Amino acid sequence: MVFDLHRFLQGEKPPANVPFTADSSRRDFGGVQVPSPAECNFSAQLAAEGAALALAVKAVAEGVCARCLGPVRRCFDFTCEYLVRPRELADPDFELPLDENGCLDVEELAYQELYLAIPRVLLCSPDCPGLCAVCGQRKDACTCAPTTDAAPADARLNVLKKLLGQDPKEVH
Ligand SMILES: [Zn+2]
Ligand SMILES: [Zn+2]
């Protein structure tokens, strides 16, 4: 969906309030997927200083827990608000995805905001104990004697260690 912000700021378009879906199933979220289209709503109103925009995004992200590698499903439901002043349309550093005609790519904006909202490291629960280095089960499910290492093992590092057949400290 594209919104002509240039014409809107010139008073040539009525206020908008548009529900839409944004399919990000093929986009990169750093190891996390958003398999179903995000449910979004875009609105635009003229304010004294410019265009008052709001973008609501509702999506479900799926990935694996960084400690135990178990599946993680996380719901995101947030609204971003922007105030765009007319002179900002010509600013090359303007942060919203605009084309050269001042049209806003609203779907791209939904993807960008979702990308920022989804943490790079997902945990199945904030206190996930991680995997036991001896038996490979979750530490709270295994019966091994407690080990002396204080830091919780990062499951991804263990996978890397197995793949490379060396200590993760030597990996640069
Ligand atoms: Zn976990
Ligand atoms: Zn164990």
Per-residue model confidence as pLDDT tens digits over 25-61: 999 898 899 999 999 999 999 999 999 999 999 999 9
Task: Say if residue 157's pLDDT is above 90.
Answer: no
Distance (angstroms) between ligand 1 centre and the Cα of 155 equals 9
Which of the ligands is closest to the CA of residue 129? 1
Rg, C-alpha atoms of the chain: 22
Give the burial string for 95-120 (b: 16+ CB within 10 Å, else e).
ebbbeeebbbbbbbbbbbbbeebbee
Which of the ligands is closest to the CA of residue 139? 2
Q: What is the mean pLDDT of residues 126-132?
A: 93
Q: From residue 39, how far is each of 19, 22, 74, 78 by CA, in Å?
A: 8, 7, 15, 11
Residue 156 DSSP SS3 = helix
Distance (angstroms) between ligand 1 centre and the Cα of 63 equals 11
Residue 4 DSSP SS3 = strand
Dist CA 109 CA 127 (whole Å):
33
What pLDDT was estimated at residue 163? Answer: 67
Type of residue numbered 108: E
What pLDDT was estimated at residue 80? Answer: 98
Distance (angstroms) between ligand 2 centre and the Cα of 145 equals 7
Distance (angstroms) between ligand 2 centre and the Cα of 148 equals 13
What does pLDDT average to over the chain?
Answer: 89
Task: Say if residue 171's pLDDT is above 50.
Answer: no
Distance (angstroms) between ligand 2 centre and the Cα of 138 equals 7
Distance (angstroms) between ligand 2 centre and the Cα of 92 equals 55
Distance (angstroms) between ligand 1 centre and the Cα of 67 equals 5
